[in-house]
Structure 1
Amino acid sequence: MRSKRSLAGAAFAVTVLLGGAVSMTIASTPSGVTPTVLARGTYDSFKVMSYPPGEGMFKAEAKQPVDVVVRRHDYLAGGSTGWHAHPFPVFITVTQGQLTFYEYDDPTCTPHVVSAGEGYVDSGRGHLARNETGQPASDTSVILAPVGGAFRLELTAPGPFCDF
């Protein structure tokens, strides 16, 4: 009985390792994008809202401490972040040029074109940013993440609805 459990455990471990290796080979990696972490800080739990409350009401709550990561991305013409997700919300401001965002789970693969001075909020279900222009572009992202944890998770490519 014990050897069957050991064999099953070993088979499971091999499956996990092979599955990880396969997903690593088909993961969507960044291309033509240089990321730079500008700052990372840990915040205590919080609950905030706009004051005075009104039509433009904003609320945010972290029930446990979180890290806030500020990261700049510089894109060459044709650059792409690759398909990825984040564990918590991300607020992206395009600071130069124009970027096109695609949602991983959007069956229509609708492009969301964002120009310098405009922002984009990640859906939390995965996305990709592309510089579909012939000019350089940049963005600055404010990323919430688990304390000390990863703030980017690679997704397989192509996306389920887009052919890139």
Structure 2
Amino acid sequence: MRRTFRTRRIRRALVTTGCAAALAFGSTAAVATPGSGVTGTVLAKGTSAGTLKVKAEGRTDVIVRTITIEPGGSTGWHYHPGPLIAVVKSGTLTRTLHDCSVEATPAGTSFIEPSGSHHVHIGRNLGTEPVELYATYLVPEGSPLSVDADAPECAEE
């Protein structure tokens, strides 16, 4: 769909105003897309004396969670400070990755998400039943399980 000159001018004005507002409030990044319809429960947590390859020293937190994404729900764009291993128990999880490729993972299959801000992604439930996952996180001790992030340029309209 082609944008008219007026639409482009309005969009440019809105972007400029948004950037000015972000600078005025001291923000260093644009607002990330928030998640919705997602709940998680920690099943187990432990700390290992071993280190992750993504961190030269320190200990590793190992956290196992169940995650439920309701139909129409989304994780929001994010990344993990350590690798994540997940098994889909029910439903189909649809993930859009940092390069805007899309992967659908149905019940009974698994996936591994690499760590780091260059691996942003979003998980969505495009189906009619809840998506249930078992996820194991391996993160540097004291790190969050995920970090909100902006959508990659290829995902912006």
User: TM class by shorter-chain length?
Assistant: 0.7 to 0.9
Q: How does 1:93-132 map to 2 (within 5 A)?
A: 93-104=87-98, 106=99, 109-124=100-115, 125-132=119-126
Say whether the 8 Å CA contact 2:89–2:133 is kept in structure 1: yes
Q: Following TM superposition, by how much is the alpha carbon of 1:151 offset from its aligned partner in structure 2, in angstroms? A: 1.9
Secondary structure of the residue aligned to 1:33 is strand
Partner of 1:162 in structure 2? 155
* Percent identity of equivalent pairs: 32
2:144 matches 1:150: yes
Match for residue 26 of structure 2 among 18, 21, 27: 18
Q: Which 4+ residue blocks in structure 1 deviate beyond 6 angstroms?
A: none
Match for residue 77 of structure 2 among 83, 88, 93: 83
Where structure 2 has 5 or more consecutive residues not aligned to the other structure, the ranges are 1-22
Aligned length: 132
Measured in 2, the distance between the counterparts of 1:96 and 1:32 equals: 16
Counterpart AA for 1:37 = V
Where structure 1 has 5 or more consecutive residues not aligned to the other structure, the ranges are 1-14, 48-61
CA RMSD of aligned residues (A): 2.7
Report the TM-score, using the length of structure 2 for normalisation. Answer: 0.73
Report the TM-score, using the length of structure 1 for normalisation. Answer: 0.70
Q: Which structure's CA Rg is the greater one?
A: 1
Q: Following TM superposition, by how much is the alpha carbon of 1:159 offset from its aligned partner in structure 2, in angstroms? A: 3.2
Measured in 1, the distance between the counterparts of 2:131 and 2:58 equals: 35
Deviation per CA, 1:41-70, whole angstroms, max 9, x where unpaired? 1011169xxxxxxxxxxxxxx864200111
Q: Following TM superposition, by how much is the alpha carbon of 1:155 offset from its aligned partner in structure 2, in angstroms? A: 0.2
